[in-house]
Amino acid sequence: MKILMISAEVVPFAKTGGLADAVSALSIALEKAGHDVKIIMPRYYKIDRKKLTKLDGPLGIPFNYNETWSAVYTTTLPGSNSLPVYFIDHEQSFGREGVYGNPLEPDFHDNVSRFSILCNSAFQLCHKLNWYPEIIHSHDWSASLANVLLKFNQRWKPEFAHTASILTIHNLGYQGNYDKINYPKTGLDWINYHTSGFEDYGRMNFLKAGLISSDILTTVSPTYAEEIQTFEGGFGLDGILRYRNKRLFGILNGVDTEYWNPEKDKRIKQNYTVKSINKKMINKKFLQEKMGLEVNENIPVIGIITRLVAQKGIAELFAPTYGSAYNICASMNVQMVVLGSGETWCEDEIRNLQAKLPNFRAYIGYDEDLSHQIEAGSDFFLMPSKYEPCGLNQMYSLLYGTLPIVRRTGGLADTVQQYCEKTGEGTGFLFDNLTPQSIYDTVGWAVYAWYNKREHIEQMKIRGMKKDFTWDKSAKEYKDVYKFALKNICY
């Protein structure tokens, strides 16, 4: 099958979250299964042109009922055999720091233009390459316009007449909602403003248009596929998702097990496997030392790696006088290691906690090495998400023998099995209510098990490490969805 992936972020070129990992790993798994996959994404300022090959000639892209011009670069996706990634080098749009925004301008003022250019360029690139996909697979709001364009502007062309579109929702919370004055930049006619689904209370909404206009919708875990159809989890779009639910599928993300594998991981101090799990202790000591904590194998280490945004439960963890992190560290014999960046108040509060608590250490920023070292060196991993479409870190944790303590939501509910104190079964600790008290109690329960039921803890670690989270499994499910899409194009 010929598949064109469209995404604003793809590992290792640009990443702000799990979406970037998913697109690249899924593409590699599909290539391995024999499909002809290509990826298109922007060439951001940080992606070095010198490491890429320039395609001959410019690309003319429809824009604002007119035309704009871009160069196109290409390279092979690392980790694949020969999977090409095409970079739209539109300097005015992408030649700057940041994918969607930067700290001073979190949502770039010209994002409608930027992502309209990306999506429109996809079709022009196909013409340039004389390669036409059977499947256009767009990811999140920033690529969803491609599916809308396919339905309203492109399908009448013979090259795209039998192309089906998939939109994967990696996070329903980000929708691309803008003033409708920008609508002409999409390249769509005003006549399609309502029919395409763009109209949203007098504004324009990219994701909503994608949800209405795509042939098939997927999201990244079965439980999240259910949750987004409810008022509580639907971010105002639950009605549309209920309406289209025969075409909505939840497929759990996989993990890049080449990169996240304690047996091969080059970023950790000591490699280990299920058989040599005792060597995990070397990573724990290394982490304690690196973070300036007391080096003591008997004290449980709780790791946290996250974007510091409301979705991740940061208020319930870190808000002054409210959050549970202070009480956990002040009253339990534990150590907490935090890696994250995001909202300024939260970064400041984490610095405060670090100054007050000798058993709380944090690094504010993005650090790939440290993220691996925390996974390898921690005993527990805390993830009290408000909602979690899939979540990667709890899966990394399981594979690294680090027990997840998570809220029962989305992909967390699908991947972590509750600990049973009687039998010792389970792979982690779950709670339902997102309150500081529930987090405190569940961490307390895990810490109790650590000190009093050590044999259970050891069994759980091994059970987690044996889990199969490979992308091959997910890729098979996507293949079935692609087949279904081709038979069910919404003309």
Stretch that binds ligand ADP, among 201-209, 333-341, 438-446, 464-472 (CB under 6 A): 333-341
Contact flag: residue 341 with ligand ADP (CB under 6 A) = yes
Residue number, 60 or 79, with CB nearest to ligand ADP:
79
Contact flag: residue 339 with ligand ADP (CB under 6 A) = yes
Residue number, 390 or 439, with CB nearest to ligand ADP:
390
Compute the least distance from the CB of residue 396 to ligand ADP, in Å: 7
Stretch that binds ligand ADP, among 174-182, 289-297, 389-397, 468-476 (CB under 6 A): 389-397
Q: Which spans in 132-200 are helix H? A: 140-149, 192-195
Nearest to 114 by CA among 217, 267, 9: 9
Which residue's Cβ has the minimum distance to ligand ADP?
Answer: 18
Residue number, 122 or 390, with CB nearest to ligand ADP:
390
CA–CA distance from 318 to each of 206, 323, 331 (Å)? 33, 4, 16
Q: 93, 221, 223, 393: which one contacts ligand ADP (CB under 6 A)?
A: 393
The H or E element spanning position 453 is: none
Stretch that binds ligand ADP, among 16-24, 98-106, 223-231, 468-476 (CB under 6 A): 16-24
* Whether 84 contacts 77, CB under 8 Å: yes
- Which residues within the stretch 17-56 sit at the binding site for ligand ADP (CB under 6 A)? 17-18, 21
Q: 62, 176, 250, 340: which one contacts ligand ADP (CB under 6 A)?
A: 340
Stretch that binds ligand ADP, among 27-35, 391-399, 416-424, 450-458 (CB under 6 A): 391-399
**Cα–Cα dist 115/109, whole Å:** 12
Contact flag: residue 218 with ligand ADP (CB under 6 A) = no
Residue number, 109 or 267, with CB nearest to ligand ADP:
267
| Residues linked to residue 4 through DSSP beta bridges, in sequence order | 38, 136
Stretch that binds ligand ADP, among 132-140, 228-236, 264-272, 334-342 (CB under 6 A): 334-342
**Strand 53-54 versus strand 66-76 pairing type:** antiparallel
CA–CA distance from 333 to each of 322, 327, 454 (Å)? 20, 11, 15
User: Could you tell me the end-to-end alpha-carbon distance of the chain, in angstroms, rounded to an integer?
Assistant: 20
**Cα–Cα dist 480/251, whole Å:** 11
Compute the least distance from the CB of residue 10 to ligand ADP, in Å: 14
Tokens describing residue 277 = 């799990």
Contact flag: residue 343 with ligand ADP (CB under 6 A) = no
Is the C-alpha dihedral spanning 385, 390, 391, 396 positive or negative?
A: positive
**Cα–Cα dist 72/84, whole Å:** 12
Q: 4, 304, 305, 399: which one contacts ligand ADP (CB under 6 A)?
A: 305
Q: List, as one string, the DSSP characters of 389-400.
A: SS-SHHHHHHHT
Contact flag: residue 367 with ligand ADP (CB under 6 A) = yes
* Whether 351 contacts 326, CB under 8 Å: no
* Whether 301 contacts 337, CB under 8 Å: yes
CA of residue 180 relative to chain centroid, distance = 28
Tokens describing residue 49 = 């042109």
Residue number, 79 or 84, with CB nearest to ligand ADP:
79
Nearest to 238 by CA among 100, 107, 387: 387
Compute the least distance from the CB of residue 12 to ligand ADP, in Å: 12
Size of the site for ligand ADP (CB under 6 A): 17
Compute the least distance from the CB of residue 286 to ligand ADP, in Å: 17
Contact flag: residue 307 with ligand ADP (CB under 6 A) = yes
Site string for ligand ADP, 151-190 (x = CB under 6 A): ----------------------------------------
Contact flag: residue 366 with ligand ADP (CB under 6 A) = yes
**Cα–Cα dist 220/377, whole Å:** 28
Nearest to 98 by CA among 108, 112, 85: 108
> What's the one-letter identity of residue 408?
R
Contact flag: residue 371 with ligand ADP (CB under 6 A) = yes
Residue number, 123 or 141, with CB nearest to ligand ADP:
141
Contact flag: residue 392 with ligand ADP (CB under 6 A) = yes
Residue number, 332 or 405, with CB nearest to ligand ADP:
405
Q: 258, 348, 368, 468: which one contacts ligand ADP (CB under 6 A)?
A: 368
CA–CA distance from 273 to each of 6, 166, 264, 462 (Å)? 36, 38, 9, 9
Q: Which residues in this chain contact ligand ADP in the complex, by CB under 6 A? A: 17-18, 21, 305-307, 339-341, 366-368, 371, 390-393
